[in-house]
Structure 1
Amino acid sequence: MAQRWLVTGCSSGLGYALADAAAQAGHRVAVTARRTEAMDGLARAWPGRITPLALELRDAAQCAEAVHTAADVLGGIDVLVNNAGGGLFGTVEELCDDEVRDQLETLVVGPWRLTRLVLPLMRAQGHGHIVNVSSVAGRMAFPGLAAYVAGKHALEGMSQALAAEVAPHGVRVTVVAPGHFATRYGTALGEARHRLPAYAELTGDMLDACRGMADDPAAGRPEDFATRVLDIVRAGASAPLRIPVGDDAYAYLDIAERAAREELAAARALTRAAPSPQG
């Protein structure tokens, strides 16, 4: 059955592929990007199914206008996909307050704001699906991506609370955690204004890997990501809250889960041991 989608971050990569696949599947899709011309190809390919909207996630007024316009043009919103977001490269010591705030505005506050704006519509109609695009970085850490990791961890925590809050209203929540996909994430990755030589050796390979994502032949295809998200939305209530996408995502998260269990066991052994003698 055709649905009404609002998908953010559709200028390229995962968002563009998802909007294209959703329109091909017969859905009507409001797509957003900072510049609407970046989505002209989608609009031409799917006239009547694609509605391009300008959106800067950090602008509260634009967020409200985008949701209002999408709901007005589509006649409602059944699926919200919070996909927009960019990365910032830098260690905890390298990043200043303004850089951290800017990253969290994009990765956490913006999706939170759009969710808050869409929820009254979904509650009123008695159904809806919110898909928050996270990353394997939402459940593990990578040196040099401190702010990005923090943002994705926060997005997953918000989503977990949200799922419990909106379930009685017929609204579903899914966190999608893609692994390594061939997108422009790495080439668009910003860097801390003040890099420190002390961390260059530790983080250099990670930065190079990020920069090369778009040209990595081993990386997943955005079209495959789009197919999986459509499957997840079709699955409805049977879908789990958090879903990795991509074989490497499962491999990464298997490592993260194993490390978490080992850490918990070590913590239990430490705190249940006899106290050390004082003095």
Structure 2
Amino acid sequence: MTTRTWFITGVSSGFGRELAEQLLARGDRVAGTVRQDGSVDDLRAEYAERFWIGHLDVTDLARVRDVVDAAFDALGRIDVVVINAGYGLFGAAEEFTDEQVVHQITTNLLGSIQTARAALPHLRAQRGGRIIQLSSVAGLAAHPGASLYHAGKWGVEGFMEALAAEVAPFGIEVTIVEPGGARTSFAGSSLQLSEPLAAYDNTPAAAVRVFKDIAVPVPGDPVKVAAKIIDSASQEPAPIRLVLGSDSYQGATTALRKRLAQIEPQRAGAAETDADA
């Protein structure tokens, strides 16, 4: 088994925590970021020599580069950069405050972009490496009540797909991970709801309001998801997208087929706006 060095944002919970645990247990080195002191003290105690910790809130965009630089300085070569930190903010678009909009987009989109940009000079200098971006089936399919979450995830999808082509000449590969619902702490610590407006009662956007009150069954096993992500680092070439979960596959394929069905009948009409020869 090939041992690697990984950089992972957000290792205190969710997929980030599961990835760190599995990687350290198998002998890899991990540089992980956390927002709160003490959140990974158990891993630090057990794997001190192979576990580097940086304190980072990805909304502090200037500090992202400082922490990434420090991780590469401390560990030398880093083989895989996993961009994982993020959270979900749900509700009707009109219900969000301006501050909530900025914080969600800064965390889920700008934080991801800045982490990738900070890692690229190092990956180019070492002539290779891999970036793994945690996205979601929500980056491929859209539902009412999740417009702002989709905005971040769809933005990440476009950025990372274009980035993959930009950095391929340097031996750098990119994978976008598309998990469905998984039994992590997301619905607790990482899920927030807008303040409801009565105007949206009994509308499609209001369906997300039950997320905090009802245990919605989800099929995904975070242990299996993390293992698949780790395995993908050995795939050559890297998969540009890694769909994980039967719900993710169903949601993504349904949405993509629907989109094609909307576009394909417009072929002739689209050509009518071409300039005359």
TM-score normalised according to structure 1 size: 0.89
Does residue 120 (structure 1) correspond to residue 124 (structure 2)? The answer is no
Residue 244 of structure 1: aligned partner:
243
Q: In terms of mean alpha carbon deviation, does 138-147 or 19-28 score higher?
A: 19-28
Q: Deviations over 1:133-163 (max 9, x none)?
A: 0000001112111111000000000001100
Give the structure 1 partner of residue 264 of structure 2.
Answer: 265
For residue 59 of structure 1, report the CA deviation from its aligned partner. 0.9
Amino acid at match of 2:69: H
- What secondary structure, in the 3-state scheme, does the structure 2 residue paired with 1:37 have? coil
Q: Deviations over 1:8-56 (max 9, x none)?
A: 1111111100111122232100111211311112223323221222110
1:111 CA displacement:
1.1
Q: Percent identity?
A: 37
Seen in structure 2, the aligned counterparts of structure 1 residues 184 and 233 have a Cα distance that, compared at 3 Å, is same
SS of structure 2 residue aligned to 1:140: coil
Asked if 2 retains the 8 angstrom alpha-carbon contact of 1:6 and 1:79, the reply is yes
**C-alpha separation in 2, matches of 1:68 and 1:36:** 20
Quote the residue 1:101 is aligned against.
Answer: 102
Q: Give the aligned partner of residue 85 of structure 1.
A: 86
Map 1:158-237 onto structure 2 (within 5 A): 158-188=159-189, 189-193=191-195, 195-201=196-202, 202-209=204-211, 212=214, 218-237=218-237
Q: How far has the Cα of 1:73 moved from its partner?
A: 2.0
Q: CA deviation at 1:191?
A: 2.4
| Runs of at least 5 residues in structure 1 that lack an aligned partner in the other structure | 274-279
Residues 160-214 of structure 1: CA deviation (Å, up to 9, x unaligned): 1100100000000000010010122222322224x211223223433324665xx
Task: Measure how far apart 1:63 and its partner are.
Answer: 1.3
Q: Check whether the contact 2:219–2:246 (CA below 8 A) recurs between aligned residues.
A: no
In structure 2, what is the equivalent of residue 277 of structure 1? none
Matches of 2:52 and 2:37 in 1, distance apart? 10
Aligned equivalent of 2:275:
none
Rounded to whole Å, the distance in 1 between the matches of 2:44 and 2:86 is: 22
Q: What does 1:32-181 correspond to in 2, within 5 Å?
A: 32-181=33-182
Matches of 1:208 and 1:270 in 2, distance apart? 42
* Conservation of the 8 A alpha-carbon contact between 1:187 and 1:211: no
Q: Assess, with a 3 A threshold, how the Cα gap between structure 1 residues 120 and 245 changes in structure 2: closer, same or farther.
A: same
Q: CA RMSD in A?
A: 2.0
Name whichever of 203-212 and 240-249 sits farther off: 203-212
Letter in 1 for 2:209: L
Extract unaligned runs of 5+ from structure 2.
273-277
Change (3 A) 1:40 1:267: farther
Equivalent pairs, count: 269
Question: Are 1:14 and 2:28 matched, yes or no?
Answer: no
Deviation of the 1:64 alpha carbon: 2.3
Helix, strand or coil at the partner of 2:24: helix
C-alpha distance in 1 between matches for 2:32 and 2:49 = 13
- The SS at the match of 2:122 is helix
Report the more deviating stretch, 149-158 or 245-254. Answer: 245-254
Three-state SS of the structure 1 residue aligned to 2:106 is helix
